[in-house]
Amino acid sequence: MKHFLLLAALILISLTTTVQAKTLSRVAAVVNDEVISTHQLDQAVMEALSRKNNTNQLSAAQFDQLKETLLEQLINDKLLEQRAAELDIDVEDIELENAINDVQAKNGLSRATLIQALAAQGMTLEAIVSRSEKKSCATS
């Protein structure tokens, strides 16, 4: 019921804005009163496509499946964030730094080389850290 009321309120607010306003982002999903925007979903799609080698070979059905999978992932991430906040779980920065150093050592990479390798795959170290934090919170 809360989700319906929130969605109804969002729709009413969007209808009361001026006609000249441009829609920059829409609601892709609502997770316990927190919105996942279409912009966030589009960013996830672009990141996923940049990591794929055969992006030109996706059919419309495959693209739709990719978007659906990524939306589910964003929803799960949001749920993890909310649960971690509820339980007041926080991953220590030193733990993440140690994990990054471990990856560098195992692969014989410097920090700069690691960042370049991630960039070549359309990813950033910050995104990896963010995902690691969410996964660590889920397993805590």
- In angstroms and rounded to an integer, the radius of gyration of the C-alpha atoms of the chain is 19
Position 12 scores a pLDDT of 53
Position 72 scores a pLDDT of 92
pTM (2 d.p.): 0.55
pLDDT in tens, the chain (140 residues): 555 555 555 565 555 554 545 556 799 999 998 999 999 999 988 888 887 766 568 888 988 999 999 999 899 888 888 887 887 776 677 777 777 888 888 888 888 888 888 777 777 877 777 766 665 555 55
Position 9 scores a pLDDT of 56
Q: Which helix H or strand E contains 81, and what residues bound it? A: helix 60-86
Each domain of the chain, given as residue ranges in start order, spans 90-140
Q: Nearest Cα to 38, choosing from 27, 47, 49?
A: 27
Position 36 scores a pLDDT of 93
d(CA 72, CA 79): 10
Position 140 scores a pLDDT of 54
